[in-house]
Chains A and B, each alone.
Chain A
Amino acid sequence: MKTRLACALVLAASAATAPASADPVDDCIRSSRQLTRTFLQNGIARDLARFYLEFFASRCQSPSEPLATSWLVGRVNWDRARFARDFATGALTVEQYAATLVDRRRKLAALRADPGAQVALVLGDADLDLVPDRDDRCPGTPSWHPTDRSGCPTEVPRRPGAADEERRLRRGLAGARVLYNPSCDGAPKPPTPTAIAWGRGTQTKHGTQGFNLAVAKVTGMPPGCEIFYEIQFRFIDPNPGNPSLPPAKHVSVVFAESEDLLSEPTHAVFGLPVGQPLSPGRTAARQAFFADYFRVTWRVRAVSGSTQASPWSAPVTQGPAPGGVDG
């Protein structure tokens, strides 16, 4: 960080105050945001703008602290935000990111207790390792890398199984997608549905037979804000004719409101048709219902198109409804 920048920030920080109101911290942070916008409009890089904002916010939250302390806290928050971004994008590994958290926490505690070092930090930390240039014997250390008190790199702690976790995390993030429907903006949290019954039955809408699930219908959403029913099953009582089955099997499926086989106001029926290709979760559920297990504990929750979810319903344990469930 350059000294002239520090001076600019000190000036800016003193401007980052606002008229008293119900919540002076909010007012102060709001005016800090405006100030940051001004900096952005004047060509300052976004990354640096984030630092300004963290510094100002720190000032707003603890106005009686020395400026150098606010700078320190703002710096740490900024560092953490950068490292979080780099971890999320894959630029830092699990081990490296975990090391940054430990390193910054340790340094923050040490610097908080040393006002002189805080001032030195404001005056210069060229490699952004949170060790003032004054004390830094190893300039050029990558910002994220843990260091000792003299700014020289220390070993990144190993984590057992880190490679596996890294692989799972990256694979998961690459495959994950988000449910989002703008029509659900401002919609209330959906009410909790109820798991009513399951059993064999007709699926009139499709002219098929299969397994049907009846749940209490969730209503009251704005037009166009479709509800999804997430259902979790724990199949129990395995068919003794198949000794390879585990004693319990968990399966999750999601149905969209539009898949309701009925148009009843109070309840919806969703089908797992026999003899048709289905998604992996539905295929697993159908197989479990059809041949593998005699009973299931299941529960349901409603999720709106902005992924607002109701609480889960209480789980119920049921065998197939004696009269079947038609849809």
Chain B
Amino acid sequence: MLRRPSRVVVFLVLFAHASILAPPAQAHNEPIHQAMTDYAYEVLLAGALYSTGSLARGAADVEDRLRRLAIANPAMNGFYADMAKALPTLRQLKSGLVGEFNLLGLPKECSPFGPFQGQPADWQLPPGQPLEATEMGSLRFPVKVTFGRGAAFCGIDEDWQPSGALATVNVPVNGHRDHTGVALGYHSAGPDFRLHDWRMRSTTLETLQDPFVAGSIGAGVSALVFALCAIACGIMPVLCPACPAIAAGAGGIVIDEIMSLDASEFEHSDFVGMGHHVDVKPSPPFTSLFDDRRGKFAPEAGPTGVPDTLELMTFVLFDLLGWHVNFAASDGAKNYEIILFPGGSGGIGADEHRNSINRGASDWEPETAIHNQFTPVDNLARFGWKRFTADDEAIEAAEQLGFSLHALGDASSPMHTVGTAGHGHRPYEDSVDMKYHELVGSESQSQSLATISVVMARAFVWRQAILAWRAQTGHAKDVPLRDLVTQLAVLTRQKAQANPAVWSSAASLAYFFGSENAAKGAYETPAMTALQRDTIVEAIALKLAFLVSTAEVIQ
């Protein structure tokens, strides 16, 4: 009955292709969320220290840039002063970091090649104070996004230092740098790890497991198994063990060995991203059924509303396997429906943004999940914000703030603004990940200073928008998060539309089938690099303005 490829066969195949299929995850890779947030904090730190005259001697170049910005726009001094006020508030947030432990329950050892030489990190915490309750400003070490989430070593980022010229701003005091930005960044990557957000139920698997319907397998059919598995494993690696059932769905064979997939409730990291889009392309009236803007809506995914071939393969997967949202088990279906007073369902909320229209199981479950309109990522931002502001002294506060920061990061990715898993999504974002430091100029003093200036100038504009909104609405202790995420997405999409080569279905397909150079090479042109830099810097700027405004809300 065994229909799986033998191990020997697998190896041969693997090395013949020299590549395995990579899943088209639907979000920036987590380290980029962390890096963007950290960058925003480091610039905030620069502005704060400039304002109080506390910049280190080595930061003369940065100081000169900030001074020049203030000469050109004297209102910038007020912004710097606001940063100085925000700084202690952000540093006082509890880290929310839960440690990385080995199988014996002891702190995990660090890399033998780094400064810790294979020893665990000594956080030097006061007696009785857990790491998660330690203030961010007191953290001795920077952490990677995998800290506490399954790192091979201790999860300390031994290579970290502030980007470019910002290293002259955030200098060690009492033996360590300020790691608030890294910790905030850690939490901004958090929503990508929320596997309970979207859980699926399959209507088919158990029945098709029934030995009664088992058939035989021939050479021709085994190729089919491979082809369908290629789609399944490539898009959702968790499905590889279910390949036999996929073949069954194709009407050919059934195999009764599905070991690790619970048909009624299963989760996967690639489902998580389905709530991380906000589709801001123009769409006909009344086609966004549940929010002012749709989140991911695969039937109209992409810049023109036509799903590309990779997206079509996701339809194959969901429809063939009968995957429906399991409403009861999906936190996202409930959490990211934002209905605020006074408007209620579908009305205008306290943040002056249109609320969601309430959906229940009978709205989410009947069609396979890929045909649903998912909640937009601005709702995810507001979800965390609501909880963060409800108790900013809680150990979980920074984790909640991470939702808002994450959404701002996602809104800077063009593919998230048109709701597509294809059209170059994965290769574009991978390309950003691999050249992030080039984009922000980490390795060049002059480029780094230029980036800092642009971030600061753009952050000022976002900050003015927030202040104007507060003055206009009287909501002095709030931030219009849903508006901000949506506006950033609109801006990102506009920039992408001016560079239509960014929408590359061919790159997505090449990436899916393992052709790295063909896929990512599409984003190595000067125009694409400029677009990536522009969108990343815009998101960093908005994060900076947001952090300053956040501190005011909780002060």
Residues of A bordering B, CB below 8 Å: 23, 25-26, 29-30, 33, 36-37, 40-41, 46-47, 49-50, 53-54, 57-58, 61-62, 64-65, 73, 76-77, 80-81, 83-85, 87-89, 94, 97-98, 101-102, 105, 108, 159, 161, 164-165, 168-169, 172-182, 185-186, 189-194, 196-197, 214, 216-220, 228, 230, 232, 234, 236, 246-254, 256, 266-267, 279-282, 284, 297, 299, 302-303, 305-317
Contact = CB atoms under 8 A, between A and B. Distances in A.
A311 B210 contact: no
B84 to A, nearest CB: 31
Contacts of B387: none
Given A194-B152, A281-B18, A311 B145 contact: yes
Contacts of A236: 438
A180 B240 contact: yes
Nearest to A186: B260
Given A80-B319, A230-B20, A50 B204 contact: yes
Contacts of A302: 152
A89 B20 contact: no
A310 B312 CA distance: 26
Task: Classify chain B: how many residues form its interface, as a range.
Answer: 35 or more
Contact of A177 (B17, B237, B260): B17
A16 B13 CA distance: 44
Contact of A164 (B223, B315, B506): B506
A192 B151 contact: yes
Contact of B14 (A36, A80, A254): A254
A273 to B, nearest CB: 15
A303 B228 CA distance: 20
Contact of A254 (B7, B18, B306): B18
A178 B237 CA distance: 10
Interface in B426-476: 430, 433-438, 443
Given A168-B506, A248-B435, A311-B29, A85 B112 contact: no
7 contacts: A25-B365, A54-B322, A105-B371, A159-B306, A254-B19, A311-B145, A315-B436
Interface of B: 4-5, 7, 10-11, 13-23, 29-31, 103, 109, 111-113, 118, 144-146, 149-153, 157, 159, 201, 203-204, 206-207, 210, 212-213, 223-224, 226-231, 233-234, 237-238, 240-241, 243, 249-251, 259-260, 264-265, 299, 306-309, 312, 315-317, 319-320, 322, 324, 328, 361-362, 365-368, 371, 430, 433-438, 443, 505-506, 509-510, 512-514, 516-517, 519-521, 524
Given A53-B322, A54-B322, A176-B21, A88 B240 contact: no
A327 to B, nearest CB: 14
B4 A182 contact: yes
A192 B227 contact: no
A177 B14 contact: yes
Contact of B312 (A76, A87, A311): A87
Contacts of B118: 266
A311 B524 CA distance: 24
A49 B103 contact: no
A234 B524 CA distance: 10
B312 A250 contact: no
Nearest to A54: B203
B10 A180 contact: yes
A173 B21 CA distance: 11
Contacts of A189: 150
B152 A61 contact: no
Contacts of B521: 246, 249-250
Given A58-B366, A312-B31, A256 B11 contact: yes
Contacts of A186: 259-260
A196 B328 contact: no
A101 B319 CA distance: 11
Nearest to A33: B207
Nearest to B307: A98
Nearest to A83: B319
Given A89-B250, A176-B513, A81 B231 contact: no
B112 A267 contact: yes
Nearest to B521: A250
A81 to B, nearest CB: 5
Contact of B434 (A89, A185, A299): A299
Contacts of A279: 15-16, 18
The residue in B240, B299, B366 that gathers the most chain A C-beta atoms within 10 A of its C-beta is B366
A228 B434 contact: no
B241 A53 contact: no
A302 B153 CA distance: 13
B101 to A, nearest CB: 12
Contact of B213 (A40, A76, A97, A251): A40
B152 A317 contact: no
A228 B23 CA distance: 15
A105 B519 CA distance: 32
B19 A252 contact: yes
B509 A316 contact: no
Contact of B251 (A46, A194, A218, A314): A46
Nearest to B20: A179
Contacts of B153: 194, 216, 266
B368 A80 contact: yes
Given A23-B328, A77-B319, A191-B150, A253 B361 contact: no
